[in-house]
């Protein structure tokens, strides 16, 4: 009899465990789901007895709050902070478009304030599309390897790891913070201490301020996809500054730049350390840089296209040579430049480029440092005609 009771209790106990696991899993899954129906209170001010206008204001206020609440649940605190400027500029002003429908559940008029209790149904598809187009926390970083080449100035001391890669391996406070905040956003920081020993580098590559070509060379040697360059300045206990630029190693293309100053009131923010202030600045910058980095680096590899480029109006061979050097050294994506013929003052060259014709023209015509003033005469298929302007 005792054995039978024990067996029954054991079966009951196991059943309870199964049910507990089932409901716990279901509850956890439900907890992760962002509700698209939000209950909010909106308010409007009655001016000169115009109750109808106050009611419209209260409803509009409720809709804005509903979208804000949805975004806060959808994105979380970190992404709300990092993407705040874009949210305010691109998402929140069109709150009405993001509402599928709403129902007023209760109304109250109190002196000059009109309040409404509204159940709002969010149009999830519209918001998700806007978040996608804005690049806000909708795409994971696709295994992008990031190399940090950011110097740190603290007082009179300048620190940077590439001063002597084989001997100067200590990470600065800026390095540690950048590693952490970029890793939190899905990137893979390159551990340069594992790859910098035994490599050969020129003297110019140890300069505190590197040319883009040197930055890209470091990126290639350490197998990075993106190089983050810049400087962090810790001015005192209440002020820090950081400026960053991101470059694609493969294409040599600048992906974006951002700068931010961090300030704190020593009396009101006595618990905020310099490290925390620096981290706040770093989080703001990664929030600004991340969308453009992910968007460009997530694109499918471009095919190499060969264009026949005619250059009219050259006055001498030196101008042609300058233009050729410009294409090879300054235009990202150019693989080769070969002269094919010279006839009647027109020089024809064949350019191999990583991308489409429009992309090539955009990088030529809109790039700073162009050695000649040129205009576009013709662009059709793989034939491009440029003319030198007086």
**3-state percent breakdown (helix, strand, coil) of the chain, nearest 5:** 45, 30, 25
DSSP 283-323: HHHHHHHHHHHHHHHTSPPPPEEEEEEEEE---SHHHHHHH
Contact 218, 148 (CB under 8 A): no
* Same domain (yes/no): 312, 286: no
- Taking the C-alpha atoms of residue 338 and residue 288, their distance in angstroms, rounded to an integer, is 39
For residue 5, is it within any domain?
Answer: no
Q: List the domain range (segments joined by +) for residue 80.
A: 37-134
Give the pLDDT of residue 337: 87
Q: How many domains does the chain have?
A: 3
Average pLDDT estimate for 97-108: 88
Last residue of a domain, one of 87, 111, 134: 134
Contact 310, 386 (CB under 8 A): yes
* Same domain (yes/no): 291, 308: no
Q: Above pLDDT 90, what percent of the chain? A: 19
The CATH number of residue 114's host domain is 3.10.129.140
Average pLDDT estimate for 190-201: 67
* Same domain (yes/no): 55, 178: no
For residue 29, is it within any domain?
Answer: no
Average pLDDT estimate for 70-84: 77
> pLDDT tens digit string along 277-313?
888 889 888 878 887 788 777 666 667 788 888 888 8
Give the pLDDT of residue 36: 75
Provide the pLDDT confidence category of residue 21 given band limits of 50, 70 and 90.
very low
Average pLDDT estimate for 124-137: 71
- Taking the C-alpha atoms of residue 5 and residue 185, their distance in angstroms, rounded to an integer, is 55
For residue 23, is it within any domain?
Answer: no
Asked whether the predicted pLDDT for residue 232 surpasses 90, the reply is: yes
Provide the pLDDT confidence category of residue 28 given band limits of 50, 70 and 90.
very low
Average pLDDT estimate for 4-24: 40
* Same domain (yes/no): 338, 293: no
The CATH number of residue 380's host domain is 3.30.70
**CB under 8 Å to 150, separation ≥6 — which residues?**
160, 174, 175, 178, 228, 229, 230, 231, 232, 242, 244
Last residue of a domain, one of 269, 297, 325: 297
Give the chain's mean pLDDT.
79
* Same domain (yes/no): 153, 86: no
* Same domain (yes/no): 277, 340: no
Contact 83, 137 (CB under 8 A): yes
Give the pLDDT of residue 230: 95
Provide the pLDDT confidence category of residue 26 given band limits of 50, 70 and 90.
very low
For residue 20, is it within any domain?
Answer: no
> pLDDT tens digit string along 316-325?
888 888 888 8
- Taking the C-alpha atoms of residue 18 and residue 214, their distance in angstroms, rounded to an integer, is 60
Contacts 24+ apart (CB under 8 A), 269-274: 274/234, 274/237, 274/240
Average pLDDT estimate for 239-250: 92
Query: Is the pTM for the entire model greater than 0.75?
Result: no
Please give the sequence-ordered ranges of beta strands (E in DSSP) within 138-187, or none if there are none.
Answer: 145-154, 157-159
Asked whether the predicted pLDDT for residue 5 surpasses 60, the reply is: no
Asked whether the predicted pLDDT for residue 225 surpasses 60, the reply is: yes
* Same domain (yes/no): 239, 342: no
Provide the pLDDT confidence category of residue 202 given band limits of 50, 70 and 90.
confident
Last residue of a domain, one of 297, 321, 349: 297
For residue 31, is it within any domain?
Answer: no
- Taking the C-alpha atoms of residue 322 and residue 314, their distance in angstroms, rounded to an integer, is 11
Asked whether the predicted pLDDT for residue 146 surpasses 90, the reply is: yes
* Same domain (yes/no): 126, 248: no
For residue 122, is it within any domain?
Answer: yes
pLDDT-wise least confident of 24-33, 66-75, 147-156, 217-226: 24-33
* Same domain (yes/no): 44, 151: no
For residue 43, is it within any domain?
Answer: yes
Average pLDDT estimate for 144-156: 92
* Same domain (yes/no): 367, 312: yes
Alpha helices in 198-338 (DSSP H): 212-221, 274-297, 317-330
Q: Above pLDDT 70, what percent of the chain? A: 80
* Same domain (yes/no): 217, 293: yes
For residue 292, is it within any domain?
Answer: yes
Give the pLDDT of residue 86: 75
* Same domain (yes/no): 207, 240: yes
């Amino acid at each position: 009899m005792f054995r039978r009771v024990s067996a029954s209790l054991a079966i009951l106990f196991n059943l309870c465990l199964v049910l507990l696991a089932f409901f716990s899993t279901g509850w956890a899954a439900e907890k992760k789901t962002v509700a698209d129906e939000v209950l909010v209170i909106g308010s409007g001010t009655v001016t000169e007895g115009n109750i109808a206008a106050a009611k419209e204001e209260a409803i509009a206020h409720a809709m804005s709050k509903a979208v804000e609440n949805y975004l806060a649940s959808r994105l979380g605190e970190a992404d709300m902070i990092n993407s705040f400027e874009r949210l305010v500029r691109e998402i929140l002003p069109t709150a009405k478009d993001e509402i599928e429908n709403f129902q007023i559940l209760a109304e109250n008029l109190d002196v000059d304030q009109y309040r409404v209790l509204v159940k709002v149904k969010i149009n999830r598809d519209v918001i998700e599309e806007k978040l996608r187009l804005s690049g806000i926390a909708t795409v994971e970083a696709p295994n992008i390897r990031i190399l940090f080449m950011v110097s740190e100035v603290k007082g009179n001391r300048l620190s940077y790891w590439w001063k002597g890669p084989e001997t100067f391996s200590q990470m600065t406070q800026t390095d540690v913070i950048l590693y952490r905040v970029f890793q939190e956003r899905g990137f893979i920081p390159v551990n340069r201490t594992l790859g910098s020993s035994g490599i050969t580098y020129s003297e110019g590559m140890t300069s505190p301020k590197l040319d883009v070509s040197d930055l890209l060379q470091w990126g290639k040697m350490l197998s990075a996809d993106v190089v983050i360059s810049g400087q962090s300045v810790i001015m005192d206990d209440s002020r820090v500054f950081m400026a960053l630029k991101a470059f694609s190693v493969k294409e040599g293309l600048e992906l974006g730049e951002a700068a931010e100053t961090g300030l704190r009131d020593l009396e009101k923010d006595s618990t905020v350390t310099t490290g925390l202030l620096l981290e706040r600045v770093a989080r703001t910058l990664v929030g600004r840089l991340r969308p453009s980095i992910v968007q460009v680096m997530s694109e499918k590899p471009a095919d190499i296209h060969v264009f026949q480029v005619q250059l009219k109006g050259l006055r001498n061979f030196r101008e042609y040579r300058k233009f050729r050097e410009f294409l090879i050294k300054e235009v990202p994506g150019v693989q080769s430049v070969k002269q094919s013929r010279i006839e009647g003052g027109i020089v024809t060259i064949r350019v191999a480029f990583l991308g489409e014709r429009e992309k090539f023209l955009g990088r030529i015509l809109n790039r700073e440092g162009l050695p000649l003033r040129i205009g576009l005469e013709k662009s059709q298929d793989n034939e491009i005609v440029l003319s030198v302007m007086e």
